[in-house]
Structure 1
Amino acid sequence: MTAPALAPGARLCFVADGRSPISRNWIGYFVARGFEVHLISTFPVDAAGMGLASAEVVPVAFARYAGASSGLSPAPAGAPAGMPAWARRLRTRAVGALFPTVFGWLAPPEVARHAARVRALVDRVDPVLVHAMRIPFEGVVAARALEGSSRPLVVSVWGNDLELWASRYPLVSRATRRALARATALHPDCARDLRLATRWGWNPSRPSVVLPGNGGVRAERFHPGPPSAELDRRLGIPEGAPVVLNPRGFREYVRNEAFFAAIPRVLERHPHAVFVGVGMQGNPRAARWIAELGIGHAVRLTPLLTPDEIASLFRRATLAVSPSQFDGTPNTLLEAMACGAFPVAGDIASVREWIEDGRNGLLCDPADPAALADAMSRGLRDEGLRRAAAQRNGALVAERAEFGGVMRRAEAFYARVAHAGSAR
């Protein structure tokens, strides 16, 4: 029997953070394929140039205060004019410390009031399916909006939806169970989350697919190649120096305090190593750790970078470090693997789906500076291991995470879900 396919120009509706590069990467594929794509963004977004049929903003869960789409980290509103620098820093730290807890308790009931608005927008579009790209709180509001409707709903699970947010906060837990009960189909980015979802009420007899959350790795951008001399000059990296790259930025679940604490231990064994932290420039915690540890000569902090700049850094890096304590499949891990950087990562279930310790990377306790330092030092020392890992990782990414192949599978999954919905 011929597999079902989406009709040309079929209408699709996404409930997503429209600012997110992950969401935009995924959505862009379907726009390029000629489907009629509508976006309900949970954050204010400039949708110009996205090629959407429509874009509406429904700012759920205090979107004014929630920050970077990956991790729901705080981005406090602008400080009052004339506030002293020390007061600004104190305010930022206070909001950063309090935000996750306040958000976890107050956001779920706040989301409910937006369900009717989302339902009206979806009914106006009348898509063949709705895809909510993350559970808190896009999946939560979409599920509430579509309760009592037979319209197919695909829900994506991102790395910390179940293991961190639903596990830590009772109201998020309840909302997660309700979302998974309503979902027609499930898209996690790792098999671990597919297993976890069944504990939160997901019916495993329903359709599911495990695919990288952002659609995979674009080989035209992320690939091995010669390092950029201009990049070395810009970051002040000495010629030939080994580079240890942390591309994860500051997120609640990334153990950056252990990463920085490990640096002096690595420098004892590899005194010429240079450590680069992406998206960490201006962060007060990073600045404090660097000063306390006396490692300023060996550390470079960057602002947020473009995808092309990140790709150049991966090609320059000897190691790419991902010290996550909770995570799905980090997009930066796959991109680093594609570029030939040697992975050093937290020993967690989702990462073990890609990395075999001692074969194509090294895994360790991400909260233990000594263990992290030992893994980084071994990676810097063992050139043979790095070379063999680069070969294996290039083939692995090409097979399982290449963007075109991943998104063709996603399109086929949509067709299966939409066909099953229309057959009811």
Structure 2
Amino acid sequence: MPVKSESSPVIAIVAMVNSIHVARWLGMVRDCDLRFVVIPVMRAPPIGELAPFRLVSKADDLCDLKRGELGVFDHGSVSWAEAEAVDFGAGFKREEHPAFQSSTHVVTAHHVTSAIRALDPDLVHSMEVQVAGYLTLEAKRRMGAAFPRWLLSNWGSDIQLFVKLPAHRPIIHRLFGQIDAYWAECGRDVALARRLGYEGVAFDPIPASGGMRVDGALAVLPPSQRRSILVKGYHGWSGRGLHILSAIYLAAPQLRSNPIRVLFTGPQASGSIAEIRQAAGLDIEAAPHLEQHADAMRRLAEARVVVGTGISDGIGTTLLEAMSVGTFPIVANTSCASEWVRNGRDAFIVDPHDTAAMAEALVRAVQDDELVDAAALRNRDEVSQRWDPGINRESVLAAYASLIEAARASRAS
């Protein structure tokens, strides 16, 4: 039945409409009495996992949403030329994220402001900081006291890395002075927000993806009986895949019986893979991209070890997925992995620039059967308690309810 009641609260999700994290979060909570509408921050088609959804452009459109159906704000209802002119006139230019340097793919602050005005939600939830958060911050500046309650989620490096950058630090300071509630992935980031002067509500950390149900049949084979190594080969503004390849070369004599498959390779990594294969005689090659998540999970569940490092991260989804299927993780100490696993017991947590330590960790992980089998049991138990969408759903809905109740009480007073 369509949701007709005017009292049914509306939550506007300012987010990347093409993000699997956003889709999983909403998939966890959407089947409830709340109405959710996504305000896209990227000019991109909605990811398939968001379905069912319909385009909306005003508050009345939300009355026709069926239970579990999402609204997606139609930015086509806002003139692009006018939006650019308004932003230019306001002197607003969003500070760039190195992963999204082309502003042609990001909507304007006027788009986000117009959407919030048109939809009049009870709560605004910005998911991610440098695009969604910064645009929402400018929207709040323009709307002033008329702006709804604002909940901010950060992903990965959003705070921990960017607050160190001179161009971003003052924006992040302003942002924490404007939000009403904060949802981090890591306790590390809650502590950082407090040091930045944030005094508002901070909910218990939950991964950006909310939760995921994993097919238990995937983890039937104990990791001690697996041989392959998966490597996240991305090397860019954050990832340090080339350092992992250097560690593999150092450990080559002990890895000759282990097939090594490298994900997310660019030209540089592809060249390094070929050189290592020829010089060290390893079974190493680039792995194809798998469109279906189930296929990617199956490949992960067949691996003994997965390695991914970078200069900054939150609680990486690859780590959680590896824990759920018993694959032994090697991750960077720049993440908050230590809030989920114990170094040397459940995973190896290494300096992303220390290739010798990484090589030592790889050798231990491929040789120590008792280590990887014991870790698999503990890690699966950990994610079953903390990354379960059914459990986390209740926490999220309770948090939404508390913020909406506070907002409505404030409006009534």
Q: Which bracket does the TM-score occupy, shorter chain normalised?
A: 0.7 to 0.9
Is the alpha carbon distance of 1:349 and 1:263 closer, same or farther for their aligned partners in structure 2, counting shifts above 3 Å? Answer: closer
Paired amino acid for 2:208: G
Paired amino acid for 1:178: R
Q: Which ranges of structure 1 fall in alignment gaps of 5 or more residues?
A: 1-6, 62-70, 76-98, 228-239
Provide the C-alpha distance between the structure 2 equivalents of 1:22 and 1:247, rounded to a whole number of angstroms. Answer: 18
**For 1:255, which of 240, 259, 275 is the aligned residue?**
240
Deviation at 1:274, TM superposition (A): 1.5
Provide the C-alpha distance between the structure 2 equivalents of 1:344 and 1:285, rounded to a whole number of angstroms. Answer: 22
- Taking only aligned residues, the RMSD between alpha carbons, in angstroms, comes to 2.8
**For 1:132, which of 108, 126, 139 is the aligned residue?**
126
The equivalent of 1:215 in structure 2 is: 210
Provide the C-alpha distance between the structure 2 equivalents of 1:385 and 1:286, rounded to a whole number of angstroms. Answer: 30
The equivalent of 2:56 in structure 1 is: none
Deviation at 1:253, TM superposition (A): 1.8
Deviation at 1:9, TM superposition (A): 4.4
User: Does the CA contact (< 8 Å) of 2:261 and 2:287 recur in 1?
Assistant: yes
User: Does the CA contact (< 8 Å) of 1:209 and 1:413 recur in 2?
Assistant: no
The equivalent of 1:301 in structure 2 is: 286
Question: Is 1:53 paired with 2:67?
Answer: no
The equivalent of 1:291 in structure 2 is: 274
Q: Percent identity?
A: 25
Provide, for residues 153-189 of structure 1, a one-character-per-residue CA deviation record: whole Å limited to 9, x for no partner: 1111111112222312x23222212222111110110
Provide the C-alpha distance between the structure 1 equivalents of 2:340 and 2:348, rounded to a whole number of angstroms. Answer: 11
Is the alpha carbon distance of 1:220 and 1:73 closer, same or farther for their aligned partners in structure 2, counting shifts above 3 Å? Answer: farther
Determine helix, strand or coil for the equivalent of 1:310: helix
The equivalent of 1:231 in structure 2 is: none
Paired amino acid for 2:191: R
The equivalent of 2:37 in structure 1 is: 38
Paired amino acid for 1:225: V
**For 1:187, which of 183, 186, 193 is the aligned residue?**
183
Is the alpha carbon distance of 1:177 and 1:197 closer, same or farther for their aligned partners in structure 2, counting shifts above 3 Å? Answer: same
Determine helix, strand or coil for the equivalent of 2:177: helix
Provide the C-alpha distance between the structure 2 equivalents of 1:309 and 1:144, rounded to a whole number of angstroms. Answer: 41
Deviation at 1:72, TM superposition (A): 5.3
Question: Is 1:363 paired with 2:349?
Answer: yes
Paired amino acid for 2:160: E
Is the alpha carbon distance of 1:368 and 1:50 closer, same or farther for their aligned partners in structure 2, counting shifts above 3 Å? Answer: farther
Determine helix, strand or coil for the equivalent of 2:164: helix
The equivalent of 1:339 in structure 2 is: 325
Question: Is 1:224 paired with 2:219?
Answer: yes
Provide, for residues 218-273 of structure 1, a one-character-per-residue CA deviation record: whole Å limited to 9, x for no partner: 2347951359xxxxxxxxxxxx7711112474442222111001112222013111
Provide the C-alpha distance between the structure 2 equivalents of 1:361 and 1:307, rounded to a whole number of angstroms. Answer: 23
User: Does the CA contact (< 8 Å) of 1:8 and 1:35 recur in 2?
Assistant: no
Q: How does 1:67-216 map to 2 (within 5 A)?
A: 74=99, 114-147=108-141, 148-149=144-145, 150-168=147-165, 170-203=166-199, 205-216=200-211
Q: What is the TM-score of this pair, normalised by structure 2?
A: 0.80
Is the alpha carbon distance of 1:72 and 1:143 closer, same or farther for their aligned partners in structure 2, counting shifts above 3 Å? Answer: closer
Is the alpha carbon distance of 1:247 and 1:213 closer, same or farther for their aligned partners in structure 2, counting shifts above 3 Å? Answer: same
User: Does the CA contact (< 8 Å) of 1:212 and 1:406 recur in 2?
Assistant: no
**Worse-matched range after superposition: 135-144 or 327-336:** 135-144
Provide, for residues 8-62 of structure 1, a one-character-per-residue CA deviation record: whole Å limited to 9, x for no partner: 843111111111111111123333335322111111232373422233349999x
- Number of residue equivalences: 361
User: Does the CA contact (< 8 Å) of 1:241 and 1:272 recur in 2?
Assistant: no
Paired amino acid for 1:416: S
Is the alpha carbon distance of 1:291 and 1:207 closer, same or farther for their aligned partners in structure 2, counting shifts above 3 Å? Answer: closer
Deviation at 1:322, TM superposition (A): 2.1
The equivalent of 1:16 in structure 2 is: 15
**Worse-matched range after superposition: 349-358 or 330-339:** 349-358
Paired amino acid for 1:177: H
User: Does the CA contact (< 8 Å) of 1:184 and 1:207 recur in 2?
Assistant: no
Question: Is 1:350 paired with 2:308?
Answer: no
Provide, for residues 363-393 of structure 1, a one-character-per-residue CA deviation record: whole Å limited to 9, x for no partner: 2222111110100110111100111101100
Provide the C-alpha distance between the structure 2 equivalents of 1:243 and 1:416, rounded to a whole number of angstroms. Answer: 47
Deviation at 1:343, TM superposition (A): 1.2
User: Does the CA contact (< 8 Å) of 1:222 and 1:311 recur in 2?
Assistant: no
User: Does the CA contact (< 8 Å) of 2:332 and 2:351 recur in 1?
Assistant: yes
Provide the C-alpha distance between the structure 2 equivalents of 1:340 and 1:8, rounded to a whole number of angstroms. Answer: 45
**Worse-matched range after superposition: 349-358 or 126-135:** 349-358
User: Does the CA contact (< 8 Å) of 1:31 and 1:37 recur in 2?
Assistant: yes
Deviation at 1:297, TM superposition (A): 4.9
Determine helix, strand or coil for the equivalent of 2:261: strand
Question: Is 1:387 paired with 2:373?
Answer: yes
Determine helix, strand or coil for the equivalent of 2:183: strand
Q: Which ranges of structure 2 fall in alignment gaps of 5 or more residues?
A: 1-5, 54-69, 85-95
**Worse-matched range after superposition: 286-295 or 35-44:** 286-295
The equivalent of 1:276 in structure 2 is: 261
The equivalent of 1:233 in structure 2 is: none
Provide the C-alpha distance between the structure 2 equivalents of 1:206 and 1:215, rounded to a whole number of angstroms. Answer: 19
Determine helix, strand or coil for the equivalent of 2:18: coil
Is the alpha carbon distance of 1:46 and 1:289 closer, same or farther for their aligned partners in structure 2, counting shifts above 3 Å? Answer: same
Paired amino acid for 1:395: D
Provide the C-alpha distance between the structure 2 equivalents of 1:144 and 1:155, rounded to a whole number of angstroms. Answer: 14
Q: What is the TM-score of this pair, normalised by structure 1?
A: 0.78
Is the alpha carbon distance of 1:355 and 1:43 closer, same or farther for their aligned partners in structure 2, counting shifts above 3 Å? Answer: same
Paired amino acid for 2:37: H
Provide, for residues 293-317 of structure 1, a one-character-per-residue CA deviation record: whole Å limited to 9, x for no partner: 3458522323432311221012101
Provide the C-alpha distance between the structure 1 equivalents of 2:7 and 2:341, rounded to a whole number of angstroms. Answer: 39
User: Does the CA contact (< 8 Å) of 1:246 and 1:276 recur in 2?
Assistant: yes
Provide, for residues 386-421 of structure 1, a one-character-per-residue CA deviation record: whole Å limited to 9, x for no partner: 111011001101111112212221111111111122
